[in-house]
Amino acid sequence: MKLSQKLKFAFAAATLAASSLTFAADIDMNADANDIAISGYDTVSYFTDSQPTLGSAEFSATYKNTIYQFSSEENRDLFRANPAKFAPQYGGFCAMGVALEQKLPVDPTAWHIRGDKLYLNLNKAVQKKWNSDIPGHIETAEDNWPEIKTKTAAALSAA
C-alpha cells in the first residue's frame, strides 16, 4: 500500500471513529440544535410538582440520544430509573400535531398529563384544541405516530 493510500485510509478511519462519537438526537425525538429536550425543562417535575420547572445542565441524563435536564439530582435519578415513564409522548413533539400527522415543536408550558403520560403542545391555543377531545386526539395520534415517527418534519410538511 502506498503512503498516500495509507494516509487516505487512516483519515477515513479517523473520520468514521469521530462520526460515531457525534451525538445527535434520534429522528423520533424533538430536541434543539444541542440535543436538549423540551427546552431544558425537567420532565419529571410535571409529575412530581404538577408544573413545568426549568432544569439545569448540572443534572442531566440521556434518553434516545437526547439530553434531558432536571431541577434536582432526585428528579434525574427518577428519570434514569424509568425514562419511558417520564419522557413526553411522541418524542416530545406536539401531541396535537401528531394527531394532524405533523411533527411540530412545543411550548413546555402547554402540557397535559393523562393516564400517567405527558403530552406537550405547540402553544396554549393548540392546547385548547387538544383539550376539546383529548381521548379522540390521543387515539388518532397513537394511530399516526408509528407512520410519522421516522420521518423528518420537513418531509411531513412537503407531503
Q: Is residue 122 predicted with pLDDT exceeding 90?
A: yes
What is the structure's pLDDT at 112?
96
pLDDT digits (tens, 9 = 90+) for 3-55: 444 444 433 333 333 333 344 667 889 999 999 999 999 999 999 999 999 99
Q: Considering the chain, what is the average pLDDT of its residues?
A: 87
> Can you read off the three cell numbers belonging to residue 26?
434520534
Three-state DSSP class for 88? Answer: coil
What is the structure's pLDDT at 2?
54
**99-129 burial code (b ≥16 CB/10 A, e <16):** bbbbbbbbbbebbbeeeebbbbbbeeebbee
What is the structure's pLDDT at 78?
98
Could you tell me the pLDDT band of residue 1, with boundaries at 50, 70 and 90?
low
Domain ranges in the chain are 24-86, 88-150
Report the predicted TM-score, pTM, of the whole model to 2 decimal places: 0.82
Closest CA to 91 of 38, 159, 18: 38
What is the structure's pLDDT at 133?
98
Dihedral sign, CA of 89, 109, 44, 33? positive
